[in-house]
Amino acid sequence: GEDVEQSLFLSVREGDSSVINCTYTDSSSTYLYWYKQEPGAGLQLLTYIFSNMDMKQDQRLTVLLNKKDKHLSLRIADTQTGDSAIYFCAETSGSARQLTFGSGTQLTVLP
Amino acid sequence: KAGVTQTPRYLIKTRGQQVTLSCSPISGHRSVSWYQQTPGQGLQFLFEYFSETQRNKGNFPGRFSGRQFSNSRSEMNVSTLELGDSALYLCASSLYNEQFFGPGTRLTVL
């Protein structure tokens, strides 16, 4: 089946920028999403991008999409300790709403 | 606007029992999807309901079933529970392209 891959861990210093990367295999992906999960909680939708876009910015968050390489990234500017969480990349394909998730990246923000 | 609510939040069952989980979507949202989250398999899609009809189904055995009511609330049922069914079950509601998740139901099977 289709696959979404992410690196497992990322550590950054407070105030630095974080970049979380994701690759996917489905060439018919329509929307790509970033979710945040804190311990014991559900998934919080951070942002999403339509597959014909290259970039989307939303306050401290910047999403970059390279459709040719099937590569998605999430940049968090001025990372804070409250940003420590697991970040999931996900995609939908065609008209289906079924989300296919990556394994998640554990972001640790060091003081 | 109230978010997605799921009940109960925690549940402990024994093998062989059955369980029913409930999800109330955001007001006005007609699509409800269910996902299972485990440390080993990650987040996996179970099924999606739209206007009381199952529109899509993931690769889970028939012990996993669901339904949706006319008010868009949804339930999922797992029969003959196995130890491997221990997981966080997440419900998501959507109107268009955004999918919003509830806090989940943590099911432990002993």
Please tell me the predicted confidence (pLDDT) of residue B22.
98
Q: Is A42–B90 a contact, with Cβ atoms under 8 angstroms apart?
A: yes
pLDDT exceeds cutoff 70 at B81: yes
CA B21 to CA B18: how far, in whole Å? 10
Find the residue in A nearest to B5 (Cα).
A42
- Residue B56 has its nearest CB partner, among A41, A96, A102, at A96
**pLDDT (average), residues A13-42:** 94
pLDDT exceeds cutoff 80 at A94: no
Neighbours of A84 (CB within 10 A): 18
Higher pLDDT among residues B87 and B97, named by residue: B87
Please tell me the predicted confidence (pLDDT) of residue B95.
87
- Residue A98 has its nearest CB partner, among B45, B102, B103, at B45
Per-residue H/E/C for chain A: CCCEEECCEEEEECCCCEEEEEEECCCCEEEEEEEEECCCCCEEEEEEEECCCCEEEECCEEEEEECCCCEEEEEECCCCHHHCEEEEEEEEECCCCCCEECCCEEEEEEC
> Which chain B residues have any C-beta within 8 angstroms of a chain A C-beta?
4, 31, 33, 35, 42-43, 45, 48, 55-56, 58, 90, 92, 94, 97-104
Is there a contact between A20 and A105 (Cβ–Cβ < 8 Å)? yes
Please tell me the predicted confidence (pLDDT) of residue A1.
56
Judging contacts by C-beta atoms under 8 Å, the chain B residues touching residue A31 are 97
Please tell me the predicted confidence (pLDDT) of residue A28.
85
Q: How does pLDDT run across B12-62, given as a tens digit for each residue? A: 999 999 999 999 999 999 999 999 999 999 999 999 999 999 999 999 999
What mean pLDDT value characterizes chain B? 96
pLDDT exceeds cutoff 80 at A72: yes
What mean pLDDT value characterizes chain A? 94
